[in-house]
Amino acid sequence: MGETATSITGKFLTFQVGNEEYGIAIQAVREIIAVLPITPVPGAPAHMMGVINLRGKVIPVLSMRARFGLPPAEPHPHQVIIVVDGQSGPVGLYADRVREVATFQEGDTEPPPSYGLQIDTSLVAALGKSQGRIRILLDIQRVLAGIGG
């Protein structure tokens, strides 16, 4: 049996994209904001929706749907932008809705399977089990890779 080098534990902000629930470490989250007008940037990667002006600071916004290879959704009032700390500053993650802050203890998480997930498994830090549901816990730096975040 393979041993994991480190167990993924702690508090995660969980959010929904399509029919799946994802989580990112709460320490990476700066704030959650309502959707602001997004200005497209010519030549940006397909999953980058554009930029927003957040209190005078220009922040790139990623579509989590596009990042995971899902089609765009119709706008609805639950959509949010989760502002996270990227390597070169804040980045917005456009998600369908925020769910909750969930705590995962030792034994609540396990490594992702090498197949069977709808998203690129290199983006996944672990699978978290709580309240009878499985959440896909993301490695935020890998999610942001390639967008200058």
pLDDT in tens, 2-45: 344 457 889 999 999 999 999 999 999 999 999 999 999 999 98
**53 pLDDT band (50/70/90 cuts)?**
very high
Q: How many domains does the chain have?
A: 1
The CATH number covering residue 77 comes to: 2.40.50.180
Write out the residue range of the structural domain in which residue 66 sits.
10-144
Examine the pLDDT at 82 and tell me if it is beyond 70.
yes
More confident residue, 140 or 115: 140
Report if residue 149 sits inside a domain.
no
Q: Angle at the Cα of 31 (from 28 to 35), degrees rounded to 5?
A: 125
Examine the pLDDT at 61 and tell me if it is beyond 80.
yes
pLDDT at 117: 67
Examine the pLDDT at 1 and tell me if it is beyond 50.
no
pLDDT at 146: 63
Report if residue 114 sits inside a domain.
yes
Report if residue 74 sits inside a domain.
yes
Report if residue 4 sits inside a domain.
no
Distance CA 80, CA 13 (A): 13
Q: Is-contact 128 108, C-beta < 8 A? A: yes
Report if residue 127 sits inside a domain.
yes
Examine the pLDDT at 95 and tell me if it is beyond 60.
yes
Q: What is the mean pLDDT of the chain?
A: 89
Report if residue 76 sits inside a domain.
yes
